[in-house]
Amino acid sequence: MKVLRRYLRLYAVFFRNCLVREMEFRGNFLANCATTVAWLVYYLFFIEIVYALTDQVAGWSKGETLVLAGSFSLSWGLMNALFSPNLSRLPEEIQKGTFDLVLTKPVDSQFLATARMVNLAEFARTLMSFLVVGYGVREAAIPLTVTGVAVYLVLMACSVMILFGIDSLIMTLSFWLVRIRNLDAAFWSVSIIARYPVDIFERTLRNILTFFLPLAFVATVPARGLARTMEPWMLPAAVAIAGFLIAASRLFWLKAARSYSSAGG
């Protein structure tokens, strides 16, 4: 697995470069950390307000809803930290022609294009999300077992892969729709739905969010997985959907690179 080690080493360099850069604008970095955490806190406040007046929301207790909120924030935070900044920059790179230089490097172009920048401020949100999940587990008195946690981690990995897959598929479109920026902005706005328990929606919408735009698998399913209230078929379903989206994004990327080289960039 020499290849894997090489890519990991490369990734370490990316990470270090970003760290050095952020440390220079320390004030800005801290402000960004504060902002990302603030949005999570904002939603936690809403949860507090609702649960001050009730014990359950669509069958979810307060602790379970906190686990859900934390899981969503964790998944989204990781996406924003690792991949979204690069994917959003893609149309600009293509338009300016600097994507050419990515193609000439002896490294996989999708790796280089999607992993180059790391938004470190988002790790503040990620850290906070862990705490929220932990707090939720305690609040709901969820018994933690090795299998439970393992299932949760697998589902969270799938969650990130699902978000990555969809974001990547959308941004790969910018190879053809070069002039349209912010293709992904609409997706990110809509993906916020994932932080709410999917059970609050009526059946049609719920099905859409489970099978068509699988946002239910981003946070609801992992939270259920941890709380042991998940239907067993959801675990393989999550893995299958995540795998499918990753494969689709890879194939679409290769197609895009081919088209780029045929059309003249």
Partner 1 sequence: MPAILAEDLTKVYVLHQRDPGIAGAVRSLFRRKRQEVLAADRINVRIEEGELVGFLGPNGAGKTTTLKMLSGILYPTSGRAEVLGFVPWERRPEFQKQFSLVMGQKNQLWWDLPPEESFLLFRELYEIPADVYRQRVKMLTEMLEISHLMNVQVRKLSLGERMKCELAAALLHRPRVVFLDEPTIGLDVVSQKRIREFIRQTNREDGSTIVLTSHYMDDVRALCERVVIVDHGRVVYDDSLARLVSRYTDSKHLRLTFSKPVEQSDLGGLGRVSSFDGLSAELESPRDEAAKVAAAALSRLPVVDIEIRDPDVEDVIRDLFQHRPPAAAPDAVVAG
Partner 2 sequence: MMNAASLRTALRKWRAVLGLHFQDSLAYRAQGVVWILTDIIPTVTLPLMWLAAYGDRSHLRGFSREGLVAYYLAVSVVSNLVFAHPWEIARDIKDGRLSIYLTRPFTYCGFIFASNLTWRLVRTMLYVPFFLVILAIFRHYLSWGGFQAGWEFWASLVLAHLLSFQIAWLLGMAAFYLVEVGGIYEFWYMIGGFLAGQMAPLELLPEAVRSAAQVMPFSYVLWFPVQVFLGNLPEDAVMRGLAVQAAWTVLMGVAGQALWRAGLRRYTAVGI
Is 24 a residue that touches partner 2 (CB under 8 A)? no
198-226 b/e (C-beta count within 10 Å ≥ 16 → b): beebeeeeeeebbeeebbbbbbbbbbbbb
Q: How many residues bind partner 2 (CB under 8 A)?
A: 34
Judged by CB under 8 A, the residue of 17, 95, 182, 207 near partner 1 is 17
CA distance 64 to 1: 40
Closest CA to 264 of 99, 83, 129: 99
Shortest approach of partner 1 to residue 127 CB, angstroms?
Answer: 24
Smaller CB distance to partner 1: residue 56 or 261? 261
Rounded to the nearest 10°, the torsion over CA 56, 60, 62, 63 is 150
* Residue 132 amino acid letter: V
DSSP state, 208? I
> Which residues in the 38-97 window bind partner 1 by CB under 8 A?
96-97
Site stretch for partner 1 (CB under 8 A), options 16-24, 140-148, 216-224, 228-236 = 16-24
The CA distances from residue 155 to 128, 159, 190, 195, 240, in Å, are: 19, 6, 21, 15, 11
Is 189 a residue that touches partner 2 (CB under 8 A)? yes
Is 4 a residue that touches partner 1 (CB under 8 A)? no
Residues making contact with partner 1 (CB under 8 A)? 6, 9-10, 13-14, 16-17, 20-21, 24, 96-98, 100-101, 103-107, 258, 261-265
Residues making contact with partner 2 (CB under 8 A)? 27-28, 31-32, 34-35, 38-39, 42, 45-46, 49-50, 52-58, 182, 185-186, 189-190, 192-193, 196-197, 199-202, 205
